[in-house]
A and B are shown apart, each in its own frame.
Chain A
Amino acid sequence: TQLLEQSPQFLSIQEGENLTVYCNSSSVFSSLQWYRQEPGEGPVLLVTVVTGGEVKKLKRLTFQFGDARKDSSLHITAAQPGDTGLYLCAGGPGYSTLTFGKGTMLLVSP
């Protein structure tokens, strides 16, 4: 069974601060996906990273896939209250189902 460890579990910051959350595993993944989940809703895909070392940017969010395809990070620049939510990483071998991490709960206060 592939396991994904996310850190930190919880992060509370002020508007305008920068932050990084991490997603680590001892297994190699074909790809890693990042989702954001808001209260009362299902997760929504933010990005998929496929190539080792790949960096993708989505406005103030920067996603990186590790060179060995075992880890990934999400960096948010100048966080805003609208970034509040549960951030989940998920990985799979490519041919089967996804394994989800436990998530990082981010609270951004005005």
Chain B
Amino acid sequence: NAGVTQTPKFRILKIGQSMTLQCAQDMNHNYMYWYRQDPGMGLKLIYYSVGAGITDKGEVPNGYNVSRSTTEDFPLRLELAAPSQTSVYFCASSGPGSNQPQHFGDGTRLSIL
């Protein structure tokens, strides 16, 4: 069972470059999320989506963009990468509402140099 699949697993970017982190889920979940995890800081919500065509900002959206054209895919775009965006990025999906369990991918480890 694939669940939530994130690609790539690792990436090194130079300052000012851009890239897209891919996330796909095969559980037919309407809700999808992007988090970043920094050492000792837990998970911070970047963007989330409650269905195709609908996205909303989380706690730390600056420097990122998302789109949701299908139920399965929820890519995260970094424009003009900055060292402060060095982090581990996790994508998750769930059923509707915060009482539902979230299913996470294995993360993308991104370094901006």
Contact = CB atoms under 8 A, between A and B. Distances in A.
B101 A42 contact: no
B90 A42 contact: yes
Nearest to A6: B42
A33 B101 contact: yes
Contact of A41 (B33, B43, B45, B107): B107
A95 B104 CA distance: 20
Interface stretch (B13-21, B67-75, B92-100): B92-100
Nearest to B42: A102
Interface in B1-45: 4, 33, 35, 40-45
Interface of A (DSSP majority class):
loop
A31 B100 CA distance: 9
Interface in A5-56: 9, 30-31, 33, 40-45, 48, 50
B42 A103 contact: yes
Contact of A97 (B33, B40, B90, B107): B33
Interface residues of B, number: 24
Contact of B106 (A41, A94, A96, A103): A41
Nearest to B92: A42
Interface of B: 4, 33, 35, 40-45, 48, 58-59, 90, 92, 97-99, 101-107
Shortest beta-carbon contacts, A-B, top 3: A92-B98, A42-B104, A102-B42
Given A94-B97, A96-B98, 15 more contacts: A33-B102, A40-B107, A41-B107, A42-B104, A43-B90, A43-B102, A45-B101, A50-B99, A91-B98, A92-B99, A93-B98, A95-B97, A97-B33, A98-B98, A100-B44
6 contacts: A1-B59, A41-B106, A41-B107, A42-B105, A100-B44, A103-B42
Interface of A: 1, 9, 30-31, 33, 40-45, 48, 50, 88, 90-98, 100-103
